[in-house]
Structure 1
Amino acid sequence: MARRRRKRLPTEAVAAHIDDLAHDGRGVAHVEGKAVFIDGALPGEEVTFTYRSMRRSHDEGRVAEVLRPSPHRVEPRCPHAGLCGGCSLQHLDPGQQIIAKQAVLLENLARLGGVAPAQVLEPLRGPHWGYRRKARLGVKHVLKKGRVLVGFREKGSSLVADIGRCEVLHPAVGGRIEALAALIEGLSISSAVPQIEVALGDELGALVFRVLEPPGEADLERLRAFGEASGLHIYLQPKGPDSVSLLWPEQSRLSYRLPAFGLEFEFLPTDFTQINSDINRAMVERALDLLDVEGEHRVLDLFCGLGNFTLPLATRAAQVTGVEGEAGLVQRARDNAARNGIDNVDFHVADLMEDVGGAPWLKAGYDRILLDPPRSGAQAMILHLAGLGAERIVYVSCHPGSLARDAGLLVKEHGYRLASAGVMDMFPHTAHVESIALFVR
């Protein structure tokens, strides 16, 4: 059977007018009637670009030259912005970034859900730089370069980007990229450290080094010395998440606070926590305001994690039930409730992506419901919500497509109206859209 020939890419730059911004932050142009997604281009611009790939449905390219720039184009702070995949929108003014994300949310709600909010909420905004407290950094000993690289992946590639610092990571780590690379370069197992997980609390931070081979005693001493010099706690992960162990110091306690509610949450470095502490604080306050919780209310918090919304809700409601699929997070939620002196909550472990129709906690009535699902959304739970009697549902979403789908179900099949929706600037300089929506019966 003859092998199909791959079409050769044009080598010369091609002129194009940018019509729109795609959901991933690339500019959208049309060349001879075919859509081209162009990295580094903004709506309204005249550019030249070079092709990176050609497919049946669309082509992909990268800006070669901006001939007529958008008035919203800015100079990226990071010199690696064109290469590193950690950011995709540093060339767009931050104020316009959040406007673009709001447009993505509303377009998804209309196109996928067939719904529109009665009110568009004012976007929640926070710091644009040094905000990121959670990350997974790739590590690679590159023989051709003769050194170790630490950073995010290159755009459209599995290669680790060659960067010296990161402007969106918290400075405790973002300013130490070169130091981390030098640290690993000096280890005897430098080729067997593929990843560093970053987890920063309000006071302390931790690094989890994935190690595919056992480090020698000299390696352990280097890692401890880095921890002592930087103040970052050092963990090792030889296998799966359950194998994570603390190397330095002898004890570690990561935590973050929600001052408006007088709460402090302890967490492990591999636990899910929100990456942007400023937006998280504002988001929790907005969610509770939208739910309009009063002293006699019973509240159900689905996908509750370690209690980020559950415990604040418990400061205002009569009783709160939190449900989460990961047993470790549920235990942390229980511990956090006890540590904060909260006794009007109960937690359950359940896979909310499956049918939980027989669960005892689902047989109770609730006045308010909060959902904070993963990217795939909460479709399996939606069919159960109508029977719970809640007057208000707040849905916190990290993917506008799944929110739009679930919003359509709540409005068209379960007797709710979409009272309000808006975006939150959880991930500045990226195309990631975090949003929140209120549904009222």
Structure 2
Amino acid sequence: MAQFFKEKPNKSKQLSAKLTLDVTQLDHLGAGIAQHQGKVVFVAGALPGERATVQLVEQKKSYAKAKLISIANPAPSRVTPFCQHYSQCGGCDLQHMDTQAQREHKQTALVDLIAKLSSAEAVAENLVATPIVDDAWHYRRRARLATVFDKNTQRLQLGFRAASSNKIVEINQCPVLATSLSELFTPLAVNLNQLKAKASIGHVELTQADNGHFAVVRVTKNLPNSDIRWLTGFAEKHQLHLLLQDDTGQLTQLYPALATTEQAVTLPFYHLVSESVRCSFTPGNFVQVNGAINQAMVNQAIDWLDPQAGERILDLFCGVGNFSLPLAKKAAQVIGVEGVPEMVEQAKQNALDNHLDNVTFYHADLSADLSEQAWLGKIDKLLLDPARAGAYESLQWLQKMQPKKVVYVSCNPASLARDSSVLLANGYRIAQVGFVDMFPQTHHIEAMVLFELGK
């Protein structure tokens, strides 16, 4: 019998009785689903086919949540989590499930959710694209480490947040992070604890870029010169681009040293090889964390949109030009729109660096009234890559845009399904649905859907 939770006595709190439930399936968030007294019970950590001993921790009118105590008959897809921090860290939540089973579950959940919440008919099997997958481990090229200073021990703790908590779980390795970054955890923690002003250290962002490794250390006040020298020595030893970031977001490069005070800090960049595009980005701004999957995703978007010379293509939520720049390489006229001003400026610079004069970038709040935006008008094709909230407000302008094709890239199947109903109501049909395994070992589902305007 697999044991997951050891109950601690708590005389001041009435605990629910232990229950034995049969888990029949997973929800789209990766929790096991069972039934008890007419209610759906969600059990995080349980897998289909398992008989689970659980304890209810939350009860609503139509559903309940339970914590997993033990499993009597482990499912064939259950595996021993690879990471030693798995039971505490909030970063991954599906390591107990075989990778192939994870992928099959996510694809099924994606297709079912789109059909259910968008009021679409069941997605035909021939419309489901081959999943985009790659290495399930060491795929993350970026991580943000949280810090907390313990006044009693005078020690700075460095790690990730615990699941559903602000508590820091100290980490000495992370198997979903690029190995070269994971290996920095222990020496970085030791180094930061040598600083006189270690209580002033905020989060630390680590990035593996095509032009080297970057570490951005957030500081709440100026560090003494002795700390600066110590950090610079650490960066030189580990060949890191080391930058400090203050309360205003201003970046100061410590290593390698800049030739003059006017010289701009070195920014990390990645290449999109198939289109010979280089994308630079500022630490803290969004980029896809899985480089190999991102490359494949961009390739699929180009294949689905099939951009032609002279076409007008709109890329909403464009970031630093991840899709816009490769599309422009195909000689289409591309318009990128983004809500973060700093990312718009970086996208413009990226266009210059890539010698592209057929792409234009604009700043706009894409959840607001867009009727007066100069760029809004008839287009040939549309690409959407919104945050978890989705693109519902932007899609209210479909009649004015009238694209023949729409590629929707989503990190939230629920908002994707909701937004799909808008497209379907406006005469579009689902031509392709693709699961993208951007975040193996977690419940998160990335997806791409191609919509085509009906004739």
TM-score (norm 2): 0.89
Hey, what does 2:336 align to over in structure 1? 322
CA change 1:32–1:189 in 2 (3 A) is farther
SS of equivalent to 1:420 = strand
Hey, what does 2:451 align to over in structure 1? 439
Aligned residue type for 1:263 = V
Of the three residues 387, 392, 397, the one matched with 2:400 is: 387
1:305-344 equivalences under 5 Å are 305-344=319-358
Aligned residue type for 2:169 = A
Instruction: Give CA-to-partner distance per residue, 1:143-196, whole Å, 9 cap, x none.
Output: 677743322211122111133211111122212222222122222233332311
SS of equivalent to 2:376 = helix
Judge which range, 226-235 or 307-316, deviates more. 226-235
Instruction: Give CA-to-partner distance per residue, 1:300-334, whole Å, 9 cap, x none.
Output: 11111111111111111331111112222112112
Structure 1 portions without partners, runs of 5+: 1-5
Instruction: Give CA-to-partner distance per residue, 1:257-282, whole Å, 9 cap, x none.
Output: 01101111122212211100000000
Hey, what does 1:101 align to over in structure 2? 106
CA change 1:142–1:97 in 2 (3 A) is farther
Hey, what does 1:55 align to over in structure 2? 59
Judge which range, 423-432 or 188-197, deviates more. 188-197
Judge which range, 245-254 or 76-85, deviates more. 245-254
Aligned residue type for 2:418 = R
1:14-33 equivalences under 5 Å are 14-33=19-38
Of the three residues 297, 306, 313, the one matched with 2:311 is: 297
Hey, what does 2:253 align to over in structure 1? 246
| Superposition deviation, residue 25 in structure 1 | 2.1
Of the three residues 232, 237, 247, the one matched with 2:240 is: 232
Of the three residues 274, 284, 288, the one matched with 2:302 is: 288
1:369-380 equivalences under 5 Å are 369-380=382-393
Judge which range, 203-212 or 353-362, deviates more. 203-212
Of the three residues 214, 229, 235, the one matched with 2:222 is: 214
1:190 and 2:190 aligned: no
Aligned residue type for 2:149 = H
| Superposition deviation, residue 74 in structure 1 | 1.4
Hey, what does 1:9 align to over in structure 2? 15
What do you get for the CA RMSD once the two structures are aligned? 2.0
For residues 449 and 45 of structure 2, the distance between their equivalents in structure 1, rounded to whole angstroms, comes to 31
Judge which range, 270-279 or 378-387, deviates more. 378-387
* Contact kept? 1:298, 1:317, Cα under 8 Å: no
Instruction: Give CA-to-partner distance per residue, 1:371-400, whole Å, 9 cap, x none.
Output: 111111111111212322321111111111
* Contact kept? 2:311, 2:333, Cα under 8 Å: yes
1:396 and 2:404 aligned: no
Instruction: Give CA-to-partner distance per residue, 1:393-415, whole Å, 9 cap, x none.
Output: 11111111111111101101x11
Aligned residue type for 2:366 = L
CA change 1:284–1:49 in 2 (3 A) is same
Hey, what does 2:439 align to over in structure 1? 427
CA change 1:287–1:155 in 2 (3 A) is same
Aligned residue type for 1:387 = K
CA change 1:369–1:54 in 2 (3 A) is closer
TM-score (norm 1): 0.92
1:65 and 2:73 aligned: no
Aligned residue type for 2:24 = D
The alignment of Structure 1 onto Structure 2 pairs a total of residues equal to 431
Aligned residue type for 1:79 = Q
* Contact kept? 2:267, 2:283, Cα under 8 Å: no
1:407-418 equivalences under 5 Å are 407-412=420-425, 414-418=426-430
Hey, what does 1:148 align to over in structure 2? 156
1:41 and 2:49 aligned: no
For residues 101 and 295 of structure 2, the distance between their equivalents in structure 1, rounded to whole angstroms, comes to 23
Of the three residues 240, 248, 255, the one matched with 2:269 is: 255
Instruction: Give CA-to-partner distance per residue, 1:191-215, whole Å, 9 cap, x none.
Output: 3323112232123122222222332
Hey, what does 1:3 align to over in structure 2? none
For residues 380 and 273 of structure 1, the distance between their equivalents in structure 2, rounded to whole angstroms, comes to 23
SS of equivalent to 1:274 = coil
Structure 2 portions without partners, runs of 5+: 1-11, 259-265
